[in-house]
Structure formats: structure tokens, C-alpha cells
């Protein structure tokens, strides 16, 4: 319930206003300007309703004192029996939200207060919208950079750039809805891992920044990094399922802020250099900036490049890609096959709904069929989900007998699945061979 402070030296007017507003709001009262300041500091109300003409300290003087000591705008409605335009004009010049003549009608008082508090809520919402990242609820890039630019000038602590490793594979293999869910969970983990007074923001798609005030211990950076890595991988496993083996994790580049009047842009560059060093070592860890990182990076060797580009863990089953990644790999594979006299099969599975089952049951069935394909295929095979009900496979170095055996095995597994009655499966296959002996055979079959 929103709280209103009523300040009036007239007991009868004070009690009347309190009775009207208490039906909808929590009300606290004061009998003078000085008492109003004390009550405001103690109760922190959402709005003030104040008489203008009071002895010793009038409403203008009270409000001016309160506003000088506050870092935010305090909404106030002035009440007065003075009907001069001068008093009203001065009130609005000082920032009053409204001006109410005495004696007032109860309905008019309630309506004025409702309007003022409604405007306060709208302004607060718009302010939050302008400063918060809509998806994660963390500060957005503009807001966090602005806050940290000022904060590092007079506060010590540690600035951390945090990057979510292998996140693109989540989008490619499981869709952007799952990617959004992982990002939101990661933001939640950052909030839970840091303290209430720390500053956290999202500065890119999978990039975050955190400033832990007063922290000067490397052990804290290490603890945060370990917790983020453990928790985000466990969460992704929970969301996607036990078969999730994407090397999802976090890399953290940190720089300690020891002196006042630091330049934020310079600190940002140092944290970025520390983050880069983590990436070079294989990700999923942290590094604290040191001056050695300012030197030109040495030429990469074969081992470091392999660690950078290879999968952190080798996935079982087919290489499940998003459409964009699949398109690039597919073009390369076709070029390789035709240039070096190799063969491969293209295979398309299409699922059609059984009208006797719900749409949800069909969606679950198509997901299960995709998981079944991925687990059954070899690690050298690649696959993509091109529509909700279609999976496209590229299978290198597989013979005609083997492709028929694979299809039969997949269809048998599907018939044994408890959700197979929700969809009918149809397939098409095509052989890819060198140009000199190019031939193709297509066939389809309906299986329950």
C-alpha cells in the first residue's frame, strides 16, 4: 500500500484529509513543517500533502529543505485557503505536482492524490525501462556504463567482464527460445552470486559486466567464476535434458580498482585483455589483469588454436547444427565429396500429425524423434531441424545397404516409442557421388 504524509497545523483539516485518504492509502501525519521533515525521514512516504501557510516553517520552506536533502524528486500537493495566483505559481515553480484549494471536497482530494501517484508510477516505470535490459532485468549497456564511469572514480573494487562460452551452440542446436531462457538464467545466477550492493549489467548478447564494490581478493573472483560455471551447465542440462553436452560455461576477465579517480574506459580495456587471455587458454576460467597483458600478443601456436576452435567435449551422436551453421558445413562437405571422389547420402524425415492427438502431443513427438536421430547417428554425421516437423541429415561415407539398414533401425525405434502414435514419419533419401558417376535414387515410405 502506498504511503502519504499529511502536514497541516489545523487539526480538523488534518483529520478530514486523513479520513478521506485512509480508505485507500496508508497515512502518516505531522502538525508542523519541522515535524513533517522528521516524519518524512522516518517513514519515507510516496507523496506529501501539505498545508502551505503554517507558523515557524511554511510548506514552501519545509519542501525546499526536504528536496535539498534528497537525491530524488519528492511528489507534493500543496493545500491552501490563499486564492492568489502568486502562491499557486510559486508552488509549481518549486516542483509541486498539484495545488488544492481549501475547503476541498473529499472526492476532489482523492482524485488529485490518485492522479499524482499514478503519474509517479508511470515516471518510475519509464525510468526503469530506460535503464534496464528488458530480457534479463539487469542494467542495460548505456546505464551500467554511465553508473560505472562515476563509481570507479571514488570506489575500490573489482571490475569483471563475463562472457558466456559456447552460447551460440545453444541457439543453433536448440533454438532462440532456449537461448533466451539460458541468458535469463545466467543473469539470475549473476544476481544470486554477487551481493546486493554490487553493480551488474548486460552489455551484449552473451556479454555481462559486474563491479563488486570493495572487493580486493582474487579468491572472490575465483569463487564467482566457479559458481557460474557449475550452475549454468547444470541449468542447461535441466532445461535441455540429459543429452545436453554443449560445453556451456563462463569466462571472466577481472581488473582490481585500487585508486580513486580511475578512468572507466581504461579499466574496461584491461578487463577485456584479461578475458582474452582466458579465451586463449581454453575458456571456462578467469584471469586478473596484469601489465604483461599490455604487450603484443605472441603468435598463436597450433596447440592454442586447437584449444580455441575444438569442442571442449566430444558429443555423442550426430553433429546437430542450426540452419546457418549447417548451411556452411553442408557446402563444404559437398565440395569435399565431389572433389575427392567420396560419397554421401542426404536424408529428409518429415513428420505429419495424427489428428486424433493434440498439437502438444505432436510437438513432443517431433522433439523426441529428433533426439532419437541424433543419438542413433555417427559422430561424423550432421543434421539440422529445418522446420518443426522436418529433419535434414547429411551422412558421409555410407553405402546403400547401410543407409537402408539405418532407416529401418530408426523407424523400428520410432514404432517402439510411446509417442509414435502422435505422428506419421515419411523419409526421402538421395545419394551424392562424384560428377562422373552421379546418380540419385529417391524413395518414400510411410511409417506410423
What domains can be seen in the chain, in order of their start residue?
3-130 (3.40.50.2300), 141-309 (3.30.70.270), 319-447 (3.30.70.270)
Nearest to 135 by CA among 181, 196, 199: 181
Question: Mind listing the pLDDT tens digit for each residue in 42-57?
Answer: 999 999 999 988 988 9
Burial letters for 163-177: b for 16+ Cβ neighbours within 10 Å, e otherwise? bbbbbbbbbbbbeee
Mean pLDDT of the chain: 84
Q: Is the pLDDT of residue 29 over 60?
A: yes
Q: How confident is the model at residue 101 (pLDDT cuts 50, 70, 90)?
A: confident
Nearest to 221 by CA among 287, 138, 148, 279: 287
Residue 397 CB: number of other CB atoms within 10 A?
13
Q: Residue 233 and residue 267: Cα distance in Å, rounded?
A: 29
pLDDT at position 299: 61
Sheet of 157-165, strands arranged across: 199-202, 207-213, 157-165, 249-257, 286-288
- Written in H, E and C, the secondary structure of 73-140 is CCCEEEEECCCCHHHHHHHHHCCCCEEEECCCCHHHHHHHHHHHHHHHHHHHHHHHHHHECCCCCCEC
pLDDT at position 307: 60
Dihedral over Cα of 60, 61, 66, 71: its sign: positive
pLDDT at position 28: 95
Q: Is the pLDDT of residue 440 over 50?
A: no
pLDDT at position 188: 94
Q: How confident is the model at residue 126 (pLDDT cuts 50, 70, 90)?
A: low
Q: Is the pLDDT of residue 448 over 60?
A: no
Q: Is the pLDDT of residue 312 over 80?
A: no
Are 289 and 304 contacting, i.e. CB atoms less than 8 angstroms apart? no
User: Which range is least confidently modeled, 102-106, 109-113, 300-304, 393-397?
Assistant: 300-304
For range 144-164, the mean pLDDT: 91
Question: Mind listing the pLDDT tens digit for each residue in 405-437?
Answer: 999 999 999 999 888 888 999 999 999 887 764
Q: Is the pLDDT of residue 27 over 50?
A: yes
Q: Residue 16 and residue 432: Cα distance in Å, rounded?
A: 89
Percent of the chain predicted with pLDDT > 70: 89
Winning range, highest mean pLDDT, from 145-149, 195-199, 278-282:
145-149
Residue 337 CB: number of other CB atoms within 10 A?
18
Q: Is the pLDDT of residue 438 over 50?
A: no
Question: Mind listing the pLDDT tens digit for each residue in 359-378?
Answer: 778 888 888 898 889 888 88
pLDDT at position 439: 43
pLDDT at position 231: 94
What is the SS3 assignment for 30? strand
User: Which range is least confidently modeled, 91-100, 229-238, 432-441?
Assistant: 432-441
pLDDT at position 182: 94
pTM of the model: 0.51
Q: Please tell me which residue, 369 or 259, carries the higher pLDDT value.
A: 369
Q: How confident is the model at residue 123 (pLDDT cuts 50, 70, 90)?
A: low
Q: Residue 78 and residue 92: Cα distance in Å, rounded?
A: 9
Q: 149 is written with which cell numbers?
A: 564511469
| Alpha carbons within 13 A on the beta-carbon side of 15 | 3
Amino acid at each position: 500500500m502506498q504511503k502519504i504524509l499529511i502536514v497541516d497545523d489545523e487539526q480538523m483539516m488534518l483529520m478530514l484529509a486523513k479520513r478521506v485518504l485512509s480508505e485507500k492509502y496508508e497515512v502518516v501525519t505531522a502538525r508542523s513543517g519541522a515535524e513533517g521533515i522528521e516524519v518524512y525521514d522516518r517513514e519515507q512516504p510516496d507523496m506529501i500533502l501539505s498545508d502551505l501557510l503554517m507558523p515557524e516553517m511554511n510548506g514552501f520552506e519545509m519542501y525546499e529543505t526536504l528536496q535539498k536533502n534528497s537525491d530524488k524528486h519528492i511528489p507534493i500537493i500543496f493545500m491552501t485557503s490563499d486564492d492568489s495566483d502568486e502562491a499557486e505559481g510559486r508552488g509549481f515553480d518549486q516542483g509541486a505536482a498539484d495545488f488544492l484549494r481549501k475547503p476541498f471536497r473529499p472526492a476532489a482530494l482523492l482524485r488529485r492524490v490518485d492522479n499524482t501517484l499514478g503519474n509517479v508510477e508511470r515516471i518510475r516505470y519509464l525510468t526503469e525501462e530506460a535503464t534496464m535490459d528488458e530480457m534479463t532485468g539487469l542494467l542495460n549497456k548505456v546505464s551500467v556504463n554511465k553508473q560505472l564511469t562515476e563509481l570507479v572514480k571514488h570506489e575500490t573494487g573489482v571490475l569483471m567482464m563475463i562472457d558466456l562460452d559456447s552460447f551460440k551452440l545453444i541457439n543453433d542446436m536448440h533454438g532462440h527460445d532456449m537461448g533466451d531462457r539460458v541468458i535469463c538464467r545466467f543473469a539470475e545466477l549473476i544476481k544470486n552470486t554477487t551481493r546486493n550492493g554490487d553493480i551488474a549489467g548486460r552489455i551484449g548478447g552473451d556479454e555481462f559486466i559486474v563491479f563488486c564494490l570493495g572487493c580486493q581478493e582474487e579468491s572472490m573472483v575465483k569463487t564467482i567464476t566457479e559458481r557460474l560455471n557449475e550452475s549454468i551447465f547444470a541449468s542447461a542440462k535441466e532445461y535441455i535434458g540429459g543429452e545436453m553436452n554443449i560445453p556451456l560455461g563462463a569466462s571472466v576477465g577481472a581488473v582490481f580498482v585500487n585508486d580513486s579517480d580511475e578512468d572507466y574506459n581504461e579499466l574496461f580495456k584491461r578487463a577485456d585483455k584479461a578475458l582474452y587471455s582466458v579465451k586463449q587458454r581454453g575458456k571456462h576460467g578467469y584471469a586478473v589483469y596484469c601489465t604483461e597483458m599490455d604487450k603484443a600478443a605472441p603468435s598463436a601456436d597450433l596447440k592454442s588454436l586447437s584449444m580455441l576452435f575444438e569442442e571442449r567435449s566430444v558429443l555423442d551422436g550426430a553433429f546437430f547444427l542450426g540452419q546457418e551453421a549447417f548451411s556452411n558445413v553442408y557446402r563444404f562437405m559437398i565440395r569435399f565429396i565431389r572433389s575427392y571422389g567420396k560419397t554421401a547420402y542426404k536424408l529428409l524425415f518429415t513428420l505429419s500429425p495424427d489428428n486424433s492427438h493434440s498439437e502438444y502431443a505432436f510437438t513432443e513427438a517431433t522433439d523426441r524423434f529428433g533426439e532419437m536421430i541424433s543419438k542413433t547417428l555417427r559422430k561424423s554425421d550432421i543434421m539440422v531441424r529445418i522446420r518443426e516437423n522436418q529433419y535434414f541429415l547429411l551422412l558421409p561415407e555410407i553405402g546403400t545397404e547401410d543407409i537402408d539398414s539405418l532407416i529401418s533401425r530408426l523407424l523400428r525405434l520410432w514404432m517402439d516409442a510411446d509417442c509414435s502414435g502422435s505422428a506419421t514419419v515419411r523419409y526421402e533419401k538421395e545419394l551424392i557421388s562424384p560428377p562422373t558417376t552421379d546418380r540419385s535414387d529417391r524413395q518414400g515410405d510411410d511409417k506410423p
